[in-house]
Chain A
């Protein structure tokens, strides 16, 4: 809402307060003022001139030489290029020494040999927003009304020495979508009076009663609680008075003609949208407010044919639709240059209905904006009278007697009760009855107070106030939020704590960042193709699609963190960052449904990506490239850190988008289940090539699947008191036999004495034979209670060697 300071001063005495002061007051009172703009964009010394003569320039076809009276002793000779300039016009004249908004300083000049003592200005040259000007004024000079007095400062004529406050209104304060609403707010803040317009001043009534000229029926009473109309005869369509046009432009509305301007002016003044029908273009003497028929077609004033639905509200003349209630009028009954009779509508339409209609049709108007936030029912008649009076004054009309209306229900002010005790308990204040009473008085909320309980009669203009807490807010904001004390919550002490999973996630973040990985954070929306090429752990799910994505690239929810991590690697590589070690925590969204009927499963994932050099280059070292075992190391470290060694198993895995020979699955394993919870591997070389990436390794782990298995506490093991015995075994096996299964066999075939087991060498060479490899294992045995005997170790050792031989065909390496 744009509020003209000058216009506002008609309703409230603003003496002593600048527009900036008001902006600060409003903002601190809860109505944010975005900006205060001066309507004068830098004009000095531009006055009203009268063109007494116009002649063609002797040497230039497109130029005119004008004689202009600006009220000084001598007439000025001004060369003007505008095609519409003519003798007999009142025009804005920038005299020598004048300044215009673009910084232009007017000097004496010669144009093609003819002296020019100033410049006749267009609206644009005066810094006016030409979007708000009638088309004919956009081109050429601005022609002023004949009544403008010669020599008057143009700032006064066009009200450009005004300032405009632009309010950023929250949805509850739709009362301030009207000048009167703002006036009430300012009057409350300043403790001053509100001067209301006399709605019937200038009204001329005669002849048949309006109720006989047009009968009103409401067949959708839920959507329209009140419909009122006046009939105005004998109007003459012409421009509206300049002061009205100036105010409309200050409010950001384009002047059109007197009738339309008056409806807009009164809408701005009262917040009540009005509509003027050309009565002669209506079928007869009735108006019916009904639901549209499903599929009914209707052409709105913007000449667009629209298909309506049965929940929409249509104003009809008994035969055809003439307006889409509260949203936009119809082309078929629009006021034109020849309109002589007007049916003027003022009504209360249901906000939700207007909102739904305007959204579905993509048709937002100043009218719908106000209706959808519920207009003040008390102003339906006031605004109607005010507009009719203005039409009598400025459009030459005469109103038919009285008002024709259909009122479904009377609107009464709401009574809201709140006690002083509740106010003080809620706010933490210690206000007195008088203090609260003063605030209510300033708000002009009538109230009764009995034993510190206030019963407030909320004016209908403040439809946002329905509960005691709404009154409390009014009291608080007018008392001043700054004045409210600061206190501590009283009552029992509550322990603050993270849950186990929150703690684990936190410590993993610390672990990974301390291990040299940077944390990334990617958007949650992806492109379907990205999922297809790298589906991760859940290739079988249906990605959840947004109903109206902003772009194809961000149209579905991610089902894996990997695609975006890979894109991130591409992004960085394109910026010459080649060495990366990155992790991300984030949710993925899983469902098997094509069409969601319930929320998808959200799983917390951890993803890691590594590529390039393993460590930063050092002057004294050789660069080493990251390989599979670096990313596997990250996985192993996490597993060990969380104490999950006995739960997680790694096995070979084939997944889309991964190198078929360099990918492992991480399985959560117990006696009964074996669930894939992670993938570790190299990106498929084809994919790497397509993305122009070097060897890139990734890991994705479903963190949500781990929490329940993480031991709650560390369990201490007593330090060993007896010595350990080490034995190494090197066996030759087929190269297809994995270290993992060999170690499984060792563990299975040795007893409790085996304390630890690790691989310390892998060797392949010609003398082992083709397709063979040697795996060297280091075994440590220990008994907790005594020193081990050589014989028992040897027995164990032989048992293990036998098992390796029989299970894997392993031979001891000679």
Chain B
């Protein structure tokens, strides 16, 4: 009997080895382990064994059954794994197809620049001041040392509404209004971003509407060298730490001394290229020490306080920074243009 069991085991294991499918395996399982299978039959026939033989043979029978069961299970696991594998293969998709992306919005390039400038000056302790875009002649010109019929008014051709009301030609009136509101208090440290208007025919480099950020500092001992330091810091943050500035004497009625400020050309680093017209420098802003008459008209004593002011054209900076060749793009709103700025 023992021999029969052992040969049954060998036979079963051998057959199990040959099994090709889960169905075949099931047949074999029934064949060997089923109620009508040889093992069951042998077990049933154990009744005829002696009391000594029975446990010995019983143990052998259990071992044989265990071995066959384990082999069946092993084959079953292999078939399950293969089945899972097959199913996963079937579920395969093309992962290179595009994902589902919501539409992407973005902030206008001019405002991106304004915001960056605001952040730079906020970091230096400035506040942001605003004022009307339509102004009184007094705030736009007279209080800035530009009396009526002054030749320097030709520098800014303007849109008048009435004899005394016009579209502001710079954001400097906000400086005057801020100083007036401060009623002689110092320090004043503001920047004034906003739209300004000049009578220009629109072309690639001129726009009748454009954006300015002006700055004003008034305090007990503000020096020209402070202006220089401030603008150098601004230029480094705006254009990168390698940036240098150069100041050239100039004229604005509301500052004395006055300076035009150039920064090293970012695209050639100052060596000279097409963008900077081979000078290595790009003019970006006008600045100077606040004219004593401007301080006086705004309620400050020029013997007690001094100040500096600067004005930056945002379009110009955006054009240089992004390589935009036509200022009109900023106001035409071609979505193919705006979309290019829908970035972080």
- On A, residues with C-beta under 8 Å from B are 27-30, 32, 170-174, 351-352, 355-356, 372-373, 425-429, 467, 469-470, 472-473, 476-477, 481-482, 484-499, 502, 506, 509-510, 512-525, 544-550, 554, 557, 568, 571-572, 575, 577, 579-582, 587, 589, 595-597, 599-600, 602, 615-616, 618-621
Q: Contact: A473 with B258, CB < 8 Å? A: yes
Whole-angstrom CA separation of A426 from B306 in the bound complex: 8
- Chain A residues lying within 8 Å of B306, measured Cβ to Cβ, are 426
Task: Give the contacting residue for B219; candidates A491, A519, A547, A620; CB below 8 A.
Answer: A491
> In the assembled complex, which residues on chain A have CB atoms less than 8 Å from the CB atom of B110?
521
A-B contacts, 27 of them at CB < 8 A, read A28-B248, A30-B250, A170-B250, A171-B251, A172-B152, A429-B225, A469-B256, A469-B289, A469-B292, A472-B256, A481-B248, A493-B125, A494-B127, A496-B123, A496-B125, A498-B127, A518-B106, A521-B331, A548-B159, A550-B199, A571-B332, A572-B335, A581-B103, A599-B132, A602-B133, A615-B102, A621-B100
Query: Which single member of A29, A496, A550 contacts B122 (CB below 8 Å)?
Result: A496
Q: Tell which of A171, A352, A524, A595 touches B195, judged by Cβ atoms closer than 8 Å.
A: A524
Instruction: Give chain A residues whose Cβ lies under 8 Å from the Cβ of B101.
Output: 616
A467 proximity list for chain B (CB < 8 A): 256, 292
A732 CB, nearest partner CB in chain B, Å = 37
| CB of B221 closer than 8 Å to a CB of A | yes
The answer to whether B18 has its CB under 8 Å from any CB of chain A is no
Cα separation A470 to B108 with both chains bound (whole Å): 41
Binds A, one of B53-61, B74-82, B227-235: B227-235
Q: Which of A498, A513, A579 has the most CB of B within 10 A?
A: A513
Choose the segment among B36-44, B266-274, B336-344 that binds chain A (4+ C-beta atoms closer than 8 Å).
B336-344
Q: What is the distance, in angstroms, from A665's C-beta to the closest C-beta of chain B?
A: 26
Contact A524 B197 (CB under 8 A): yes
Say whether A486 contacts B229, CB under 8 Å: yes
Question: Which residue from A356, A472, A482, A496 sits with its C-beta under 8 Å from B127?
Answer: A496
User: Are A587 and B126 within 8 A (Cβ)?
Assistant: no
- A584→B111 CA distance, assembly (Å): 11
Check A428 against B251 for contact (C-beta < 8 Å).
Answer: no
For B129, give the chain A residue with the smallest CB separation: A499
Can you add 10 more A-B contacts, CB < 8 Å, to A27-B248, A545-B161? A174-B151, A488-B226, A493-B125, A496-B127, A499-B128, A516-B102, A524-B133, A597-B162, A619-B98, A620-B100
Closest to B230 in A: A489
Q: Which residues of B contact A (CB under 8 A)?
A: 97-98, 100-108, 110-111, 115, 118, 121-128, 130, 132-136, 149-152, 154-155, 159-162, 165, 167, 187, 189, 195, 197, 199, 201, 208-209, 217, 219-226, 228-230, 232, 246-251, 253, 256-259, 289, 291-292, 306, 330-336, 338-339, 342
Nearest residue, chain B, Cβ from A514: B105
B335 touches A494 (CB 8 A): no
Partner of B249, one of A30, A493, A495: A30
Contacts of B195 in A (CB 8 A): 524, 587
Q: How far is the CA of A485 from the CA of B291 in the complex (A)?
A: 21
Contact in complex: B249, A568 (CB < 8 Å): no
CA distance in complex: A621, B100 (Å): 9
Q: A469-B291, A599-B134 are in contact. Are A485 and B199 (CB under 8 A)?
A: no
Could you tell me the dominant secondary structure of chain B's interface residues?
A: mixed
User: Which residues of chain A are within 8 angstroms of B334 by Cβ–Cβ distance?
Assistant: 571-572, 575, 577
User: In the complex, how many angstroms separate the beta carbon of B144 from the nearest chain A beta carbon?
Assistant: 14
Q: Are A582 and B335 in touch, CB under 8 angstroms?
A: yes
Cross-interface CB contact of B330 among A487, A517, A521, cutoff 8 Å: A521
Pairwise interchain contact B333-A582, C-beta atoms closer than 8 A:
yes
Q: Which residue of A lies closest to B149 (CB)?
A: A352
Contact (Cβ within 8 A) B331 A522: yes
Determine the residue in chain A with the shortest Cβ distance to B148: A352
Chain A residue nearest in CB terms to B136: A599
Per the bound structure, the CA–CA distance linking A545 and B165 in Å amounts to 11
User: Which residues does chain A contribute within 8 Å of B253, judged by CB atoms?
Assistant: 171
Contact of B125 among A494, A515, A524, A618 (CB under 8 A): A494
In contact, A498 and B223 (Cβ under 8 angstroms):
no
CB distance from B186 to the nearest CB of A (A): 8
Complex contact B105–A546 (CB within 8 A): no
Q: How far is the CA of A509 from the CA of B106 in the complex (A)?
A: 9
Known: A355-B151, A524-B195. A170 touches B189 (CB 8 A): no
Evaluate whether A516 and B103 lie within 8 angstroms (CB atoms) in the complex, with A473-B256, A582-B335 already known. Answer: yes
- Interchain CB contact under 8 A, B133 and A587: yes
Which residues of A sit under 8 angstroms from B132, Cβ to Cβ?
Answer: 599, 602
Cβ-defined partner of A595 (8 Å) among B102, B162, B208? B162
Do B259 and A481 have beta carbons less than 8 Å apart? yes
Distance of A59 Cα from B187 Cα, bound (Å): 89
Distance (Å) between the CB of A561 and the closest chain B CB? 12
In the bound complex, residues from chain B placing their C-beta under 8 Å from that of A472 are 256-257
Is the Cβ of B219 less than 8 Å from the Cβ of A486?
no
Q: How far is the CB of B139 from chain A (nearest CB, A)?
A: 10
- The reply to whether A519 and B223 form a contact with Cβ atoms under 8 Å apart is no
Instruction: Kindly report which residue of chain B lies nearest to residue A493, judged by CB atoms.
Output: B125
B170 to chain A, nearest CB (A): 15
Expressed in whole angstroms, the minimum distance between the Cβ of B123 and any Cβ of chain A is: 6
Asked if A487 meets B223 with Cβ closer than 8 Å, knowing A355-B151, A520-B338, A521-B110, the reply is yes
CB-nearest residue of chain B to A475: B257
Which residue of A has the minimal Cβ distance to B260? A32
- Contact A518–B105 (Cβ < 8 Å): yes
Is the pair A519, B106 in contact by a Cβ cutoff of 8 Å? yes
Tell me the bound Cα distance from A566 to B14 in angstroms: 83
B152 & A171 in contact (Cβ 8 Å cutoff)? yes
Q: A487–B225 contact, CB under 8 A?
A: yes
The 5 closest A-B CB pairs, nearest first, are A428-B225, A30-B249, A170-B251, A473-B257, A428-B223
Q: Would A515 and B221 count as touching, CB distance under 8 A?
A: no
Q: Knowing A489-B230, A496-B123, A519-B108 touch, does A596 contact B165 (C-beta < 8 A)?
A: yes
Residue of A nearest to B330 (CB): A521
Closest Cβ of chain B to A507, distance in Å, is: 12
**Cβ contact of A425, chosen from B98, B124, B221, B258, cutoff 8 A:** B221
Known: A547-B161, A599-B136. A498 touches B122 (CB 8 A): yes
Interface centre among A485, A524, A589 (most CB of B within 10 A): A524
Asked if residues A618 and B226 are in contact (CB atoms below 8 Å), the reply is no
What residues of A have a CB within 8 angstroms of the CB of B232 in the complex?
A: 486
Q: What are the residues of chain B within 8 A of A481 when measuring CB–CB? A: 228, 246-249, 259
Q: Which residues of A contact B291 (CB under 8 A)?
A: 469
Docked Cα-Cα span, A545 to B111, in Å, equals: 27
| CA–CA, A587 and B197, complex, Å | 13
Q: Which A residues are in CB contact (< 8 Å) with B100?
A: 618, 620-621
Q: Contact between A596 and B335 (Cβ–Cβ < 8 Å)?
A: no
Contacts of A470 on B, CB cut-off 8 Å? 256
Q: What CA separation (Å) do A620 and B338 show in the bound complex? A: 27
List of B residues within 8 angstroms of A557 by Cβ: 134
Pairwise interchain contact A356-B342, C-beta atoms closer than 8 A: no
Query: Distance (Å) between the CB of B18 and the closest chain A CB?
Result: 46
Q: What distance in Å separates the Cβ of B308 from its nearest Cβ neighbour in chain A?
A: 9
B257–A172 contact, CB under 8 A? no
| Closest residue of B by beta carbon distance from A516 | B103
With a cutoff of 8 Å between Cβ atoms, the chain A residues found around residue B217 in the complex are 489
With beta carbons under 8 angstroms apart, the residue of B106, B127, B155, B257 that contacts A469 is: B257
A523 touches B107 (CB 8 A): no
Taking a contact as CB atoms closer than 8 A, the residue among B97, B150, B155, B224 that contacts A476 in the complex is B224
User: Which of these, B105, B118, B134, contacts A516 with CB under 8 Å?
Assistant: B105
Contacts of A171 in B (CB 8 A): 150-152, 154-155, 251, 253
Name the residue on A nearest B293 (C-beta): A467
Beyond A427-B224, A571-B334, whether A373 also contacts B151 by CB under 8 A is yes
Option from B155, B160, B333 in Cβ contact (under 8 Å) with A571:
B333
Residues of A within 8 A of B98 (CB): 618-619
Asked if B331 and A477 sit within 8 Å, CB to CB, the answer is: no
**Contact A599-B135, Cβ < 8 Å, known A171-B154, A544-B161:** yes
Closest A-chain residue to B208, C-beta based?
A550
> For A600, what are the chain B residues with a Cβ–Cβ distance below 8 Å?
134
Give every chain A residue within 8 A of B125 (Cβ-Cβ). Answer: 493-496
